[in-house]
A and B are shown apart, each in its own frame.
Chain A
C-alpha cells in the first residue's frame, strides 16, 4: 500500500463485510505528541475476544476463498515500523473499533494520501451505509456526515454522480484548509 488513505479503504472493507450500517472514520494529526492516530469504528457484528487476538495474524481469515488475510497484518507491520501499533476493541453484537497509531514524523510513515478519493469510493459503492469522517489537525477540523447529506437529498440517491462530485470537492477543500500545520 502506498499511503494511509489506501490502508483505510482496505480496513473499511472489513466493516462492510461485518454488516455495519454506520462507519466512523477519524484521523487525528497530533503533532504536539508526534502521533498520527486513525480510528475506524463500526456497528457491525463485532468479534469475541478469541477472534480479536487472531485477526492481525496473516494466516487467520474468515474468508472461504483462501487461507490468508492480509489487511490488518499489513497495517500492523506498517504501524510497528513507525513506533506505533494496532489496537482493536470489539464485542459481539456491538461493533468494532480499530485504532492505528504511527509516530507522526517517523521517516517510514506512509503519507496520508487522498482521503477524498477513499471516501468517495466508499460512499459511491455502499450507498446504503452511512459514513462519518472527522479529521483533526492543529489548524482545524473537517467533519463529514453522510446522514446530513442524505437529509438534504431527500429521494435522490447519495451515489448520484453530481452528489459524489460534491462530496469529493467538499472533503478536499476541507482537508486543504486544515493542512499545513506540520505537513502530512
Chain B
C-alpha cells in the first residue's frame, strides 16, 4: 500500500542523485493536448515519454503539454526542442514511436525523420 511516508524516502533518495535542474538548458518535449490530441491518443503518448525518461534516468529532459498544435488530422503530435537545434515536430505518434524517438533523437541526437511532419506531408 502506498503511503505519504514513502514520499519522504523518495525525496531523500532523489535529492542525493539529482543536482536540481535549475538553470540547465535541456531538451523540452511538448505534447499537443487539445481536444483533438486527447481524442486521438495523446495521453498514452505523453505517458510513454514520461516512462522512457524515467527508465533511462534522463535528468535534463522536460515533458510538458500545450493545446492544439494546429494540424488535427496528424494528431497525436509532439515537438522536441533541443538546445541550439531546430524544433522537430513529430506526428501520428504511438507509444512505440515514442520509444524510438527517445532513443534515437533525445539520447543520440538523430531525429527520426520518417515520423516527422515533413515526411507526413510528402505522402
Q: Does A132 contact B (CB under 8 A)?
A: no
B54 touches A163 (CB 8 A): no
Question: Which residues from 74 to 123 on chain A have a C-beta closer than 8 Å to any C-beta of chain B?
Answer: 74, 117-118, 120-121
Q: Give the chain A neighbours of B36 by CB distance below 8 A.
A: 70
Partner of B11, one of A118, A121, A154, A170: A154
**Which of B39-47, B79-87, B96-104, B109-117 touches A?**
B39-47
B63 touches A125 (CB 8 A): yes
Interface size class of A (residues with CB under 8 A): 35 or more
Contact B67 A161 (CB under 8 A): no
Interface residues on B, range: 20 to 34
- Measured between beta carbons, the chain A residues less than 8 angstroms from B1 are 173
The answer for the CA separation of A124 and B57 in the assembled complex, in Å, is 16
Evaluate contact between A155 and B10: CB separation under 8 angstroms: no
Contact among A1, A17, A117, A170 with B47 in the assembled complex (CB-CB below 8 Å): A117
Query: Does B23 reach chain A (CB closer than 8 Å)?
Result: no
Of chain B, the residue at the smallest CB distance from A170 is B2
Across the A-B interface, how many residue pairs have beta carbons closer than 8 Å?
91
Interface 0/1 of B71-84, CB less than 8 Å to A: 00000000000000
* Complex interface: chain A residues within 8 A of B31 (CB): 125
A125 and B64 contacting across the interface, CB-CB below 8 Å: yes
In the complex, what residue of chain B is closest to A153 when comparing beta carbons? B11
Pair B39/A1 contact, Cβ less than 8 Å = yes
Interface positions of B from 7 to 46, Cβ below 8 Å from A: 7-8, 10-11, 13-15, 18, 20, 31, 33-36, 38-39, 43-44, 46
Interface residues in chain B, defined as those with a beta carbon under 8 Å from any beta carbon in chain A: 1-2, 4, 6-8, 10-11, 13-15, 18, 20, 31, 33-36, 38-39, 43-44, 46-47, 50, 53-54, 57, 63-65, 67-68, 70
